[in-house]
């Protein structure tokens, strides 16, 4: 689920503390007892979604999701690419040791 999809589904709800993970992103001018609409407007105004998508955490999650969605042939292509990269690195290190 993308951050924009989560923003569309933004609603006030209870959530267990043990399942929460704090991030460095926060809403600075949020009034007390703000409803879902106010929160959604504040998130859009402070560009929280864009900041999240630029973060390394979000990029890692996107990469994991992309890897999960690969089919068998695409996984095979990735494996061959990794093997060829490893072989080139190994040969370059070996040549550097000789020189």
Confidence label for 3 from pLDDT (cuts 50, 70 and 90): low
Q: Which residue has the higher pLDDT, 14 or 55?
A: 55
C-beta of residue 46 within 8 angstroms of C-beta of residue 27: yes
C-beta of residue 54 within 8 angstroms of C-beta of residue 23: no
Question: Which ranges of the chain would DSSP assign to H, the alpha helix?
Answer: 3-8, 36-45, 48-54, 56-68, 72-98
C-beta of residue 71 within 8 angstroms of C-beta of residue 45: no
pLDDT of residue 35: 82
Confidence label for 18 from pLDDT (cuts 50, 70 and 90): very high
Report the percent of the chain where pLDDT is more than 70.
Answer: 91
pLDDT tens-digit readout, 27-74: 888 888 888 888 888 888 888 889 999 999 999 999 999 999 999 999
């Amino acid at each position: 689920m993308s951050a924009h999809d989560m923003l569309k589904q933004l609603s006030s709800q209870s959530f267990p503390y043990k399942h929460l993970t704090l991030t460095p992103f926060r809403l600075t001018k949020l009034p007390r007892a703000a409803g879902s609409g106010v929160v959604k407007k504040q998130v859009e105004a402070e560009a929280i979604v864009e900041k999240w998508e630029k973060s390394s955490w979000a990029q890692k999650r996107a990469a994991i999701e992309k890897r999960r969605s690969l089919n068998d042939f695409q996984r095979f292509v990735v494996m061959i690419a990794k093997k060829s990269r490893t072989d080139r690195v190994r040969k370059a290190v070996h040549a550097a040791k000789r020189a």
